[in-house]
Structure 1
Amino acid sequence: MNLFGKIKKKLFNESESVSMDTINELFFGSGSAEYGTDLSEITYFTCLKTLSEALGKMPLYLMDEQKSRIMDHETVPFISVEPNPLETPIQFFTYLEYCRNHYGNAYVFVVRELGHLRGLYPLDPRMVQIWVNNTDGFTRRRFYYYYTDRRSGKSYWINPDDMLHIKSWVTGDGGYAGKSVREILATNMAGAKASQKFLNNLYQKGLTANAVVKYVGDLSRENQRILLKKIDEQARDDGRRLITLPVGYDIQTLDLKLTDSQFYELKRYNALQVAAAFGIQPNQLNDYSKSSYANSAAQSLAFYVQTLLHIITVYEQEFNRKLLTPAEQKRGLGFKFNFWMILRGDPTQQADVLQKMVQSAIYSPNEARGKVDMPPCDGGDVHIVNGSYVKLQDIGLAYANKTPKGGENDDSSKE
């Protein structure tokens, strides 16, 4: 029996509470025709856009143990200039973060020739399966990636060492693959799409509620259908504000008040729930009802600490273990995202932060100038600090043996 004859195929993206058939029907099947696609739900789309663009605009650097950038490593051109012939780094990382949230997993095929890196190619998560060997022990269980190219129809077995696999924080059985946010929010998203469909229908009807036609007498079911059809055709006629009715008939609209049903409040609460699942702050959904200019800056910092910090750590650790050799890892080499792009504030706030960093000798003047894309200056690589600073144990030594000023007598001269 060959190696793969022992392998048990299992795709680890099934939910215990919501089946994939239900999710596919909701997002791609007949449910799509009724409620719209997943990306048509504006809150869900905004959250995907915010996270994907936030990660995409942060450059990734390779650093040594001293936190200095390394420029001569073979991976640098692929993470800084061109991961593959079709993408730039910002497109590459934006797509990966989109896949990680929308599908639960982001896959990158690492192409090597004669031991040298030749390209990083993102794969469609829908075309990747995980095959697990069910004969190995739990702690030594081998697994492989099985990718099918939809254009050529060919399939490929990929070793885990040649695949960058970025998962969502919720993983399935055994932790082999992540769960998508839409899978977790399937029930909630159904309500969101139903409310959007209701509004769309209301707009199509000219924001007019349902109506009741009153008449004296009796009509068969077929005659009722014909009458209502003709009235509806008149109501939908372009630019028409009046309709005609037979003698003895009257029409009365049903009172519809979205405020009475708290429709807006419920829809807004539902949007905040979806955003919270992504770790998105309300101000990033253009909800400034409880925000001000001051705390919006604080919310941006909270977005980095509470949301992005975990995400970029997942990327950094996966890149470290798959793109660096054990010897390079032992030397302290590691990939690091430059999060300064996210924390940039207004010019006044940014100048205040840089000034404090330089005065406390954390940044040199040239390092501070580099943060605002200015060229270095001569002598700017020296770290400076206030000369009056002393060690704690040296406090007061400057006054211990102080010589009296001219004309002043100490206590001993008075005796």
Structure 2
Amino acid sequence: MGIFSRQLTNVKNLTTAFSYTDFLNALGIQVSSVDKYKLGEITYFTCLKLLAESVGKLPLELWQDTDNSSRLASEHYLNQILKRPNKYMTPFTFWSTVELNRHHYGNAFVYIETNRGRVTALHILPSNCVQIWVDNIGLLDKDNSIWYIYTDSKSGHQYKMSYDSVMHFKTSTSFDGITGLSVLECLSMNIENQKSGAAFVNTYFKNGLFAKGLLQYVGDIDLTTRKKMQEQFASMASGIKNAGSILPVPLGFSFQPLNISMVDSQFLELNKYNALQIAAAFGIKPSQINDYSSSTYASTETQNRAFYVDTLMSALVQYEAESTYKLLTSQDQIARYNLEFDYDVILRADFKTRMEGYAQGINNGVITPNEARKKEGYAPDPNGNQLFINSAYVPLKNVDKQASEKEVKN
């Protein structure tokens, strides 16, 4: 926290607060059932990875609206921050980390470092080290009703930050509109089921992929001898090294295996159901977790587009609104500056479809050739800044007039 020490107020003896864990416990959600620091369940990890990478690969750009159009505000100093939020992170690492924290903890926090009113860097605060204080009685400051208390995990020092110095991104699931609910907590039971299923498979592998059986012996045998025989027989029958080998059975004994397969135990069905439930909580489509059982190429493409529209866009709208409000000054907002993600990166069609779209846009006077070339990364043409339209098109009211002119000429 050395880089923040000059700008944040050190708060001493803050020992009580209504923390995020307390809030969940008050709602009857037990947070101890899942270790929130271990992403051991593969479906849960896959969903987090997909969402984090999807947000991370989108460039955040500064635009300015004018009376006639919008333009990239490349001259604004904030572009340098967008290209490098801090000296340790690229934009991809920064935004993917924010998205990962937002879903895993329910809330993500970014401290805005400033110097004389200008943003100099953006720093991600560990979500598990930040508490949200709602000061509705003016205890800390009459001008601020929400404060963020950051506790340095190394030194134990606590820092008070006002709402306008922290960008707060939360999940869409919130009961008060201030604190987001973690997907992990909502899926604690389902994730535990997935982990139990993984343990089930591991047991199968350790035991040579077949279940234990019944060792039968006709006659009496004492307890000590029984345990010794059981251990010896288990050492010959269990383990990968004994899989597929011939099993010797002592004279007077018979062995009857219990052939319980994964199909009989409905493991595959239960595992698939749990995986789909976890993915659904994140808004992830089945094809994105490699479930193509009911998918075709066309439906998969449609699902991918639906993921960006239905799932990802809600998060991007929040990122844009919070970033615009916290990073831009009131003068910038009056000048109609705003921050937007480049959606074309995720909604980009195949080459043929793009070319057909450009052709229609250019032929109908919607875009110029240079605007289309810029989207494809080509250099502009000196004569490509004009709008074109088919001369055969005439207003409907002039059809009779044009026909009359043709008759006169003939």
| Deviation (angstroms), 1:124 | 0.9
Counterpart contact for 1:231–1:243, Cα < 8 Å:
no
Give the match for residue 373 of structure 1: 377
Match for residue 169 of structure 2 among 142, 166, 170: 166
Residue 387 of structure 2 is aligned to residue 383 of structure 1: yes
Give the match for residue 31 of structure 2: 20
Match for residue 107 of structure 1 among 101, 109, 115: 109
CA distance in 2, matches of 1:147, 1:205: 49
Trace 1:15-414 onto structure 2 (pairs within 5 A). Answer: 15=24, 16-24=27-35, 27=36, 37=38, 39-65=39-65, 66-79=69-82, 81-133=83-135, 135-136=137-138, 142-172=145-175, 174-236=176-238, 239-240=241-242, 241-391=245-395, 393-394=397-398, 396-399=400-403, 402-404=406-408, 406=410
Task: For residues 266-286 of structure 1, give each alpha carbon's deviation from its aligned partner in whole angstroms, at most 9, with x where no partner exists.
Answer: 322221221111111222122
Task: For residues 347-392 of structure 1, give each alpha carbon's deviation from its aligned partner in whole angstroms, at most 9, with x where no partner exists.
Answer: 2233223333333333321221222222222222223232333445
CA distance in 2, matches of 1:333, 1:128: 30
| Deviation (angstroms), 1:212 | 1.6
Counterpart contact for 2:148–2:162, Cα < 8 Å:
yes
| Deviation (angstroms), 1:237 | 5.8
CA distance in 2, matches of 1:12, 1:113: 31
Counterpart contact for 2:370–2:381, Cα < 8 Å:
yes
Partner SS, residue 251 of structure 1: strand
Partner SS, residue 373 of structure 2: helix
Partner SS, residue 175 of structure 1: coil
The letter of the residue matching 2:62 is: L
Counterpart contact for 2:208–2:240, Cα < 8 Å:
no
Partner SS, residue 20 of structure 1: coil
Counterpart contact for 1:6–1:135, Cα < 8 Å:
no
| Deviation (angstroms), 1:140 | 8.2
Counterpart contact for 1:8–1:134, Cα < 8 Å:
no
Give the match for residue 7 of structure 2: none
Counterpart contact for 1:12–1:176, Cα < 8 Å:
no
The letter of the residue matching 2:235 is: E
Counterpart contact for 1:358–1:383, Cα < 8 Å:
yes
The letter of the residue matching 1:83 is: P
| Deviation (angstroms), 1:341 | 0.8
| Deviation (angstroms), 1:63 | 0.7
Q: Report the more deviating stretch, 245-254 or 42-51.
A: 245-254
The letter of the residue matching 2:165 is: D
CA distance in 2, matches of 1:212, 1:206: 16
Counterpart contact for 1:8–1:131, Cα < 8 Å:
no
Counterpart contact for 2:52–2:95, Cα < 8 Å:
yes
Instruction: Tell me: CA distance 1:327–1:261, structure 2 relative to 1, closer, same or farther (3 Å).
Output: same
Counterpart contact for 1:63–1:69, Cα < 8 Å:
yes
Instruction: Tell me: CA distance 1:354–1:219, structure 2 relative to 1, closer, same or farther (3 Å).
Output: farther
CA distance in 2, matches of 1:278, 1:171: 15
Share of identical aligned residues, percent? 34
The letter of the residue matching 1:366 is: N
CA distance in 2, matches of 1:158, 1:93: 21
Partner SS, residue 126 of structure 1: helix
Instruction: Tell me: CA distance 1:220–1:97, structure 2 relative to 1, closer, same or farther (3 Å).
Output: farther
Task: For residues 286-305 of structure 1, give each alpha carbon's deviation from its aligned partner in whole angstroms, at most 9, with x where no partner exists.
Answer: 22222222333222221121
| Deviation (angstroms), 1:132 | 2.5
Instruction: Tell me: CA distance 1:255–1:107, structure 2 relative to 1, closer, same or farther (3 Å).
Output: same
Give the match for residue 9 of structure 1: 17
| Deviation (angstroms), 1:312 | 0.5
The letter of the residue matching 2:47 is: C
Q: Report the more deviating stretch, 237-246 or 99-108.
A: 237-246
CA distance in 2, matches of 1:229, 1:334: 72
| Deviation (angstroms), 1:340 | 0.7
Counterpart contact for 2:144–2:162, Cα < 8 Å:
no
Task: For residues 90-143 of structure 1, give each alpha carbon's deviation from its aligned partner in whole angstroms, at most 9, with x where no partner exists.
Answer: 110111111111111111110011212110001110111112325359x98712
CA distance in 1, matches of 2:166, 2:246: 65
The letter of the residue matching 1:158 is: M
| Deviation (angstroms), 1:207 | 1.3
Give the match for residue 6 of structure 2: none
Instruction: Tell me: CA distance 1:396–1:260, structure 2 relative to 1, closer, same or farther (3 Å).
Output: farther
| Deviation (angstroms), 1:85 | 0.7
Counterpart contact for 1:64–1:333, Cα < 8 Å:
yes
